[in-house]
Structure 1
Amino acid sequence: MDTRYSRQILFPPIGRAGQEKLAASRVAIVGMGALGTVLANHLVRAGVGFVRFIDRDFVEPSNLQRQMLYDESDAEQHLPKAIAAYEKLRRINSQVQLEPIVADLTPYNAERCLAGVDLVLDATDNFQVRYLINDFCVKHGVPWIYGGAVSAKGMFLAIRPGSTACLRCLFPEAPKPGDTPTCDTAGVIGPIVHVIASYQAAEALKLLVGADDALNPYLEHFDLWANQHQQIRVAQAKRSDCPTCGQHRFDYLEPTSPEGLATSLCGRNTIQISPAQELQLDLEQLAQRLAPLGKVERNPFLLRFHIGSHTLVVFPDGRVLVQGTDDPALARSLHARYIGA
């Protein structure tokens, strides 16, 4: 351990005792896009003992400009981001236990996917998922670090349930899909991703080694293009009437439909259909059934079925991305017609 982490151990706030705490720590990263790849890289190289990463998507060429763990081969193979990240990171540090989960974090699986960790890192582009993380972490007393980046702007905040304001104290309701810009609608430059994720990673190291007095108490906002940096005081923002941390009501952990979820992926002309219960689909059998109807591509982790102007991306757990439409009714119709109930 001394050779690999020697420079980190020489840093007095961490030292040998802190390094041992890192090795005993367990972290979950939700989202393995731009922020997630930087976060995972930092934590795995720093020697955090267990890192679980959860992502619903696969690598596409448009990701390569900013999602630093992936390469052209990953995009050509349509590898799930969690799998592509695992393959890279296990070669970077074999001492760290890695657990990739190819899934969308939903009320149906959040308790299972986030169980047993000391810290959750938000690397999503989805406010519904952030409020879900907030509910889980407040319910179980797990600290988490919010982060977001779009265009040349970004924000982060360390949240410690019971000590600080939670996300819902600050923003009582999640924005509706389409109300806020995303990387797919407003673009993004790589440097803002690294700034925000690096701050998140630094806060993570502080939390994991027990340096709570060094934690940043602000909601930090950056605009790299305009050369602006703002610190927003949130120390007094904790609310006794907050539905989550004040009233202990965990609305975002409650499943909303027995039929599962149909979610528009903003700016991508795609509807994601998630089943109410995780399935175990036989992709080979499905490929054989669909082959006479349209072009089928598959790898060990997903199947892509092209029919007319639409593509259905099917995952073994039953989740389907219907590409080529932003109409949930049409997406459900195509799903029912070709995938079945």
Structure 2
Amino acid sequence: MQKELERYSRQILFQPIGKEGQLKLLKSRAVLVGMGALGTVISNHLVRSGVGYLRIIDRDFVELSNLQRQSLYKESDALQQLPKVIAAEKTLTEINSSVTIEPIIADINMNNAEELLSGFDVIVDGTDNFLTRYLINDVAVKHGIPWVHGGAVSSRGMFATIIPGKTPCYRCLFPDLPAGRGETCDTVGVLSPITDIIGSFEAMEAIKVLVGAEPNPNLEQLDIWDNSTFQMDISNGHNPKCPTCVERHFEFLETRSSHQTTYSTLCGRDTVQIVSRNKEEFDFNKMAEQFKKIGEVKVNPYLLRFSPDEEISMVLFKDGRALIHGTNDITKAKSYYSRYIGS
């Protein structure tokens, strides 16, 4: 054990962790959702810090455009189109072979979220969409698991730590799924320093949770381009009528939830249809302006056609329905939808 602890000697010298905290870390279990820019930073820190067991979950594969900010991956991973969790497992194991890494290639949804996320000491958010965060919050509150939220896009980022039964839950802070599709890294871009900063803060908060220290009581926001920061104390932000942590109604885990999006393949057409149940209409003018910076766009009063690359084209209808042409793989279609349309 002494030899094993030598690896973490500089961390042990930090008194708030010490030997006792390090032993807790070695016995701890963490699950990380999303292995993109945030996830690669978070997992790197957790593995180097000696978290005993880390489950990493992601549905996507490595692409060349990821390498600007997703720090665990290499050009060879992109050329082989390796699933992100497989490429990450290899690198993380080379960093610290004493940590157990469990890679899961999966899309988190209401059917598998409880199975994949329960039974851990902390859940960490490396995702890029709001719907998944509400799903994580439902599981965390239902099973009493602390979780760390974080997000980054453009030059901006935020993070907060949610402790069920102690702090406000995510639904207390953000009662409703945001209107509009929201900005994504693939529509407005993202700077790698902001994902490094937010991912590092998230990893630190997870470590605090695992060693039994007090997490940050604030929701922190920062913009590294405008050099601005905002700190909001959320400790008194409980919503006495919160449907999740007060009424314990976990609607994002329900198969009949109006927030769930349905996916189906169109027979013989190499196309996946995506229907959002929230009935929100697309704003073609706004979307066309964003998409023109990325690929070919054609729009008429009835539909918008967007081709982000030579393989895929997306046809969007006013009622929020989308056709993803060029694939019959639902996971791949969902990935494109999430990138360019958002939650």
TM-score, normalised via structure 1 length = 0.78
Corresponding position of 2:314: 325
CA distances 1:39-85 after superposition (whole Å, capped 9, x unpaired):
00000010000000100111111100000000111111111111110
Q: Is the contact made by 2:118 and 2:143 (CA closer than 8 Å) also made in structure 1?
A: no
Match of 2:230 in 1: 230
Alignment counterpart, residue 136 of structure 2, candidates 133, 136, 155: 133
Measure how far apart 1:175 and its partner are. 1.9
> What does residue 74 of structure 2 align with?
71
Deviant stretches of 4+, over 6 Å: 270-274
- CA drift at 1:16: 0.7
Equivalent position SS for 1:325: strand
Question: Match for residue 147 of structure 2?
Answer: 144
- In structure 2, the partner of 1:211 is 213
- What are the Cα deviations for residues 120-159 of structure 1, in whole angstroms up to 9, with x where unaligned? 0001001000000000000000000000000110000000
Deviation track 1:2-31 (CA, whole Å, cap 9, x = no partner) reads 321111111111111111000010000000
Q: 1:162 and 1:140 mapped to 2: Cα distance?
A: 11
Q: Which residue of 2 aligns with 1:2?
A: 5
In structure 1, how many angstroms separate the alpha carbons of the residues matched to 2:114 and 2:178?
Answer: 23
User: Hey, what's the Cα distance between the residues in 2 that align with 1:192 and 1:325?
Assistant: 29
Residue 17 (structure 2) aligned to one of 14, 17, 28: 14
Between 1:168-177 and 1:9-18, the stretch displaced more is 168-177
Task: Give matches, 1:220-259, under 5 Å.
Answer: 220-256=220-256
Counterpart Cα distance in 2 of 1:27 and 1:253: 21
Contact 1:141/1:161 (<8 A) preserved: yes
Deviation at 1:310, TM superposition (A): 7.2
Cα distance change on mapping 1:334 and 1:25 into 2, 3 Å: closer
* Equivalence map 1:1-341=2 (5 Å): 1-176=4-179, 178=181, 180-212=182-214, 215-256=215-256, 261-262=262-263, 311=311, 323-327=312-316, 330-331=323-324, 335=328
The range that moved more, 146-155 or 194-203, is: 194-203
Given that 1:55 and 1:101 are in contact with CA atoms closer than 8 Å, whether structure 2 keeps it comes out as yes
Secondary structure of the 2:198 match is helix
Structure 1 residue ranges without an equivalent (≥5) = 264-269, 275-308, 312-322, 337-341
Counterpart-to-counterpart distance in 2, 1:334 and 1:76: 20
* Post-superposition CA distance 1:150-184 (Å, at most 9, x none): 01100000000010111110111112462x21111
SS at match of 2:221: strand
Offset of 1:334 from its aligned partner? 6.2
Shift of 1:236: 1.3
Cα offset, 1:115, TM superposition? 2.2
> Residues 111 and 255 of structure 2 are in contact (CA less than 8 Å); yes or no, is this contact kept in structure 1?
yes
**Kept in 2: contact 1:27–1:121 (CA 8 A):** yes
Q: 3-state SS of the aligned residue for 1:335?
A: coil
Deviation at 1:272, TM superposition (A): 8.5
The 1:271–1:14 alpha-carbon spacing in structure 2 relative to 1, beyond 3 Å, is farther
Q: Secondary structure at the match of 2:6?
A: coil
Secondary structure at the aligned position of 1:197 is classed as: helix
Tell me the distance in 1 between the aligned counterparts of 2:104 and 2:32: 10
Over 3 Å counting, the alpha-carbon distance change for 1:74 and 1:175 in structure 2 is same
Note closer, same or farther for the CA distance 1:326–1:207 as it changes in structure 2 (3 Å cut): farther
SS in 2 for 1:65: coil
**Matches of 2:219 and 2:204 in 1, distance apart?**
15
Change (3 A) 1:176 1:57: farther
Identity of aligned residues (%): 54
Distance apart, 1:240 and its partner CA: 1.6
In structure 1, how many angstroms separate the alpha carbons of the residues matched to 2:55 and 2:164? 21
Q: Read off the aligned partner of 2:138 and give its amino acid letter.
A: D
Q: Are the structure 2 counterparts of residues 326 and 133 from structure 1 closer, same or farther at C-alpha, using a change threshold of 3 Å?
A: farther
Q: After superposition, give the CA deviation of every residue in 1:108-128 in whole Å (9 maximum; x if it has no partner).
A: 110111121110000100100
Which amino acid is the alignment partner of residue 185 of structure 1?
T
